[in-house]
Amino acid sequence: MLYSYHAKNKEGQTMVGTIEAPTTEAASNILTERNLIIVSLEPAKKISFFGAPLKFLTRIKRREIVIFSRQLSVLVSATLPLVQALRILIKETSNFNLRIIISEIADEVDGGAKLSATFSKYPHVFNDFYINMVKTGETSGKLDEVLTYLANQQEKDYYLMNKIKGTMIYPVFIINSLVLVGGIMMVFVVPQLTKILKEAGIELPFATRLLINVSDFLSHYWWLLLISLVVIFIIFKIYSKTEIGRRQFDFFRTKIPIFGSLFQKIYLVRFSQSLSTLLTSGVSLTLALRVVADVVGNAVYKDLILKTVKEVEAGNPIDTVFSKSAIIPSMVTQMMTIGERTGYLDSILEKIANFFSQEIDNTMVDLISIIEPLFIIGIGIGVGLMVAAIILPLYNLAAVF
């Protein structure tokens, strides 16, 4: 049973955390053995981090996991005992929910549990790659090195995703602004202008009639449009969670115009970085591939990797499946073949990751230079059509008089 406690140590500092014990008396004895003076001890109300209806209020951000990984790697590399390092991080962590988790992990490790086993109890915080890496470090006796690898890996992935999000801020802002301004125009401005045209009784061009009909619909049935968008979004989210939907959506992401190549490079960086890190840490190739299959984040690539596992187990080269896929560049398969033959597959994969990381930077610069003129052209066409739909009949009306 899990117990929540408040206690004071020899220095008079307040210690807050949880402890697992069969009875209250056993929990009290454990805390006393740790030289803690118990202030309060009661059964803990287990927080369901990702099962709660308002789970977004208790979610732990990727940035906080990155910081935790780096701090833990530094403390362990400084030869601090693992339990002591974890208890230090409880005080240094600002997120309350992560503090609770670290406290529980520290208690379990102090009780004799392995760090990887305790991490596995929080799969939505520590993924399979993270857990398997820690397990490898424990087995090889190189936990400090593995934690450093993990911290580096987490930071690379975090900064990569931040670059992509930063690049998308401008186009998303422009699109939202256009939708907002266009909606205001269609609901409040256009009806006032077209009212004159309706009262004039002249024959209106098709563009003007279309503009009036759209404006009328938005003015009177905006709520229906809003409900429809919400329903479509919910259906899309539910379908994307199914196996078929996830596969179709992941396949579409690799083929979408302009952005498809960017997504492919992101998955290749994840694959090569993760596999390189695991191989460097001494994990077998087949186990490393299975772990990476869950880390890469795309069902299409996951299928390719799992098929590769079967080929490798059958004694075939690692590029057997990759060389036949259209979404894996030939350069990648050729370099992997060279790495496997020479015994330097881990370093080759690291070079591949560095190459495609640079390619992602270049692609994002190109996207910005392409997106900006496209938006300008789109805005110009939209405004031009709207103005023409209003001005042309007004000109015809003036000509009649």
Name the residue ranges covered by the structural domains of the chain.
1-46, 168-401
Residue 358, amino acid: Q
Q: Which carries the bigger pLDDT value, residue 347 or residue 174?
A: 347
> Residue 44: what pLDDT?
64
Give residue-wise pLDDT tens across range 60-74: 888 888 888 888 888
The 10 Å CB-count burial string (b at 16+, else e) for 120-138 is bebeebbbebbbbbbbbbb
Please give the model's pTM, rounded to 2 decimal places: 0.63
Interatomic CA distance for residues 72 and 11, integer angstroms: 24
Dump the DSSP string for 10-28.
TT--EEEEEEE-SSHHHHH
Tokens of 108: 């379990």
Residue 149 pLDDT > 70 = yes
Which band of pLDDT confidence, cut at 50, 70 and 90, is reported for residue 335? very high
Average confidence score pLDDT of the chain: 79
Q: What is the DSSP letter of 56?
A: G
Q: Residue 165: which pLDDT band, with cuts at 50, 70 and 90?
A: confident
pLDDT tens sequence across 51-106: 434 444 456 888 888 888 888 888 888 888 888 888 898 888 888 888 888 888 88
Q: Give the residue-averaged pLDDT of 291-301.
A: 83
pLDDT score recorded for residue 400: 57
The pLDDT of residue 54 = 42
Residue 15, both tokens = 């210690």
Report the pLDDT value the prediction gives residue 308, as an integer from 0 to 100.
Answer: 92
**Dihedral over Cα of 98, 102, 103, 108: its sign:** positive
The whole-number average pLDDT for the span 351-380 is 81
The total number of residues written for the chain in this structure: 401
CB 14 within 8 A of CB 5: no
pLDDT digits (tens, 9 = 90+) for 223-247: 888 899 899 999 988 888 888 888 8
Higher pLDDT, residue 76 or 8? 76
- What's the rounded mean pLDDT across residues 274-281? 80
What angle, rounded to 10 degrees, do the helices at 128-140 and 285-295 form? 150
Cβ–Cβ under 8 Å, residues 133 and 150: yes
CB 18 within 8 A of CB 5: yes
pLDDT, mean of residues 347-370: 83
Of the chain, the end-to-end C-alpha distance in Å amounts to 89
Average pLDDT over residues 18-27: 69
CB 389 within 8 A of CB 211: yes
Q: Which of 28-37, 220-229, 253-262 has the least mean pLDDT?
A: 28-37
Q: Quick one: which of 237, 251, 208 has its CA closest to 387?
A: 208
Average pLDDT of span 348-367: 84
C-alpha torsion angle, residues 94, 95, 99, 105 (rounded to 10): -120
The CATH number of 1-46, from 1.10.3680, 3.10.20, 1.10.3470, 3.40.1000, is 3.10.20
pLDDT score, position 274: 80
Structure-token match 């330097």, residue found:
344
Residue found under tokens 């049935």: 221
pLDDT of residue 22: 61
Q: How high is the pLDDT of residue 161?
A: 74
Helix (H, G, I), strand (E, B) or coil at 180: helix
Task: Note whether 9 and 36 are within 8 A (CB).
Answer: yes
Q: From CA 101, how far away is CA 109, in angstroms rounded?
A: 12
pLDDT at residue number 235: 92
